[in-house]
Homo-oligomer: A and B are copies of this chain.
Amino acid sequence: MGSFTPKSFAPLDPQSFSDESKAVVDFIAEYYRNIEKYPVRSKVQPGYLSEKLPDTAPFYPESLEDILKDVSESILPGLTHWQSPNFFAYFQANASTAGFIGEMLCSGFNVVGFNWISSPAATELESIVMDWMGKMLKLPSSFLFSGTGGGVLQGSTTEAVICTLAAARDKALETLGGSDNIKKLVVYTSDQTHFTVQKSAKLIGITKSNFRVITTSFSTKFALSPENLRAAIEEDIKAGLVPLYLCGTVGTTACGAVDPIKELGKIAREYKMWFHVDAAYAGSACICPEFRPYLDGVELADSISLNSQKWFLTNMDCCCMWLKQPKFLIDSLSCTSEYLRNSASESNSVIDYTDWQIAVGRRFKALKLWIVIRKHGLTNLIDHIRSDVDMAKRFEELVAEDHNFEIVVPRKFALVCFRMKPEIESDGSKLNRKLLDAVNSSGRAFMTHGVVGGTFYIRAAIGATMTEEHHVDDLWKLIKEKAQEHQDS
Contact = CB atoms under 8 A, between A and B. Distances in A.
A22 interface: yes
Contacts of A13: 97
A60 B371 CA distance: 13
How many copies the complex holds: the figure is 2
B125 A75 contact: yes
A376 interface: yes
Interface stretch (A235-243, A333-341, A475-483): A333-341
Contacts of A3: 379
Most chain B beta-carbon neighbours within 10 Å: one of A95, A157, A194: A95
Contacts of A90: 112, 118, 339
Interface stretch (A196-204, A225-233, A258-266, A392-400): A196-204
A53 interface: yes
A119 B386 contact: no
Contacts of A79: 109, 111, 119-122
A136 interface: yes
Given A60-B377, A103-B103, A379-B59, A162 B117 contact: no
B377 A58 contact: yes
Interface in A178-207: 179-180, 182-183, 194-196, 198-199, 202-205, 207
A78 interface: yes
A349 B45 CA distance: 10
Nearest to A16: B97
A176 interface: no
Which applies to chain A's interface (DSSP): helix, strand, loop or mixed?
A: helix
A358 B13 CA distance: 36
Most chain B beta-carbon neighbours within 10 Å: one of A66, A119, A207, A367: A119
Contacts of A82: 109-112, 119
22 contacts: A4-B383, A6-B386, A11-B384, A12-B96, A14-B29, A16-B97, A17-B32, A21-B28, A21-B101, A46-B344, A59-B377, A62-B375, A74-B121, A100-B108, A107-B107, A162-B203, A179-B183, A198-B335, A203-B333, A204-B204, A253-B339, A338-B449
Given A4-B383, A44-B121, A157-B360, 11 more contacts: A11-B96, A17-B97, A18-B25, A56-B135, A58-B377, A58-B378, A76-B121, A80-B120, A95-B108, A103-B104, A203-B204
